[in-house]
Amino acid sequence: MIQLNAMPLDYEPRRKILSKLRDTLAGDYRNPEMSESESAFLCGLLKQSRPKKILEVGVAKGGTTSIILQTLEDLGESYEMHSVDLNEQCYSFKAKRTGYMATIAKENNLLYTPPSLLYAARMNFIWASICRKSLMKSEATSTL
Report which of 128, 96, 87 is spatially closest to residue 26, judged by C-alpha positions: 96
Q: How far apart are CA 101 and CA 136, in angstroms?
A: 37
Question: Is residue 52 within 8 Å of 78, Cβ to Cβ?
Answer: yes
The pLDDT tens digits of the residues spanning 18-40 come to 988 887 887 656 688 899 999 99
How many domains is the chain partitioned into structurally? Answer: 1
Positive or negative, the CA dihedral 126, 113, 54, 98 is: negative
Domain residues for the domain of 66 are: 4-142
- Asked if 90 and 102 count as a contact pair (C-beta separation under 8 A), the reply is no
What pTM, to 2 d.p., does this model score? 0.73
Give per-residue pLDDT as tens, 82-116. Answer: 888 888 888 888 888 888 888 888 888 887 655 54
pLDDT of 124 higher than 50: no
Residue 136 has pLDDT above 90, yes or no: no
pLDDT in tens, 38-86: 999 999 999 999 998 888 888 888 899 999 999 998 998 888 888 888 8
